[in-house]
A and B are shown apart, each in its own frame.
Chain A
Amino acid sequence: MEEATRFAVELDRFAGIERRYLVKREGHTDPSYGKPPWARTLEELVECGVVNLDKPPGPTSHEVVAWAKSLLGVPKAGHGGTLEPD
């Protein structure tokens, strides 16, 4: 519970937000299921992660996604929106 709360605070900081957390109910999680995000292997991150990529002017978002997809060898990739969709 403490570790997950710390991770939540870390995510908030990444987003530039400060939030307090309140405990409704003490809880424990069974270590035999699931996996903390920080314990994921690099392969797992590549498969289901996010890269904050600086797209230069020139290539389209679509082209940069295709480039990243082949660079990382992943079957699926997407982006968070084009600058001026038409």
Chain B
Amino acid sequence: MIAHSDKEYIALAQLHARVPREKLEEVIREFVGRIYQRPPVRSSVKRTLRVKEIYGIEVLEYEGVFALMRVSCQHGTYIRKLVHDIGEILGVGAHMRELRRTRTGPFREESSVRMHELSEAVYLYEEHGRGDKLRSMILPHEYIVSHLPKVLVLDGAASAIAYGADLAVPGISVISEGIRRGDLAAIMTLKGELVALGKALMSTEEVLSSDRGVAFKTVRVIMERGVYPKGWKKRSEAQR
């Protein structure tokens, strides 16, 4: 889930000759948008030409032959290759010296914790029974899908979806605005628990104006079965 979300990086590029900043900026602008990229020789995927989207590149600092850049892009973009290709278009060549990922989906550098902070928090909890610090560092797993639009569903629907059923309109209580057909959404209970990921078969407007029909196709179930009781069971018990 997180592996397939948008990324942001800080990369240090070394050009193989000096070029004016204007020229660097001009070439970089050409790389924003959809680009073709062939994965590098040392890579984990098939080396065929792929289309990747670069949302933005910003030159943060430029000194001598060193350019510090912020790149935001689609998952699966090779930054080392991007830097190399920018060097080719500049005509002087370039390679990447350093790379740091500053965002993966909703997880940004600003909200990250360092290894020593985590081990300190574990120590405080285990040795002194103080769990407040550790608690602040461990987020509920719902945060993994925090960037997705959301649909809150009734208990009965949550139960059925945990068994793999799709989400139909009558099971929907609250919905994010702006969902379009084909969008991925987080399906949650009215307590805020993540039930599943669903692909929208209806837009938000269509859901609001419909009384029936499948609105979201369940693509990945997260909640364990049986956390919410089966709806049909309740009804059959009531009949007895």
Tally the A-B contacts, defined by beta carbons under 8 Å: 183
Does the CB pair A27–B190 fall under 8 Å? yes
B25 interfacial by beta-carbon distance below 8 Å:
no
Does the CB pair A86–B192 fall under 8 Å? no
B239: A residues at CB distance < 8 A: none
Give the total of B residues in contact with A, Cβ under 8 Å: 67
B21 CB → nearest A CB, Å: 27
Does the CB pair A4–B192 fall under 8 Å? yes
Interface of A (DSSP majority class): loop
Q: Which stretch in B28-36, B55-63, B132-140 binds the other chain?
A: B132-140
Does the CB pair B147–A35 fall under 8 Å? no
Give the total of A residues in contact with B, Cβ under 8 Å: 55
- With A4-B189, A7-B192, A11-B146 already in contact, the answer to whether A24 and B174 are too (CB < 8 A) is yes
Chain B window 144-164, contacts with chain A (Cβ cutoff 8 Å), 1 for yes, 0 for no: 111101101011001000000
Residue of A3, A26, A84 near B80 (CB, 8 A) is: A84
23 contacts across the A-B interface (CB closer than 8 A)? A1-B173, A4-B152, A8-B174, A12-B150, A14-B111, A21-B177, A27-B152, A27-B154, A33-B228, A34-B227, A35-B193, A36-B193, A37-B140, A42-B134, A49-B138, A49-B140, A51-B113, A53-B112, A53-B115, A72-B122, A80-B2, A84-B78, A86-B42
Residue of A7, A19, A35, A83 near B101 (CB, 8 A) is: A83
Q: Which stretch in B12-20, B83-91, B102-110 binds the other chain?
A: B102-110
Does the CB pair B112–A37 fall under 8 Å? no
B99: A residues at CB distance < 8 A: 83-84
Interface residue ranges, A against B (CB under 8 Å): 1, 3-5, 7-8, 11-12, 14-17, 19-30, 33-38, 40, 42, 45-46, 48-57, 64, 67-68, 71-72, 80-81, 83-86
Please measure, in the bound complex, the distance between the C-alpha atom of A12 and the C-alpha atom of B143, giving whole angstroms.
9
Of residues 37 through 52 on chain B, the ones whose CB sits less than 8 Å from some CB of chain A are: 42-44
Does the CB pair B191–A22 fall under 8 Å? no
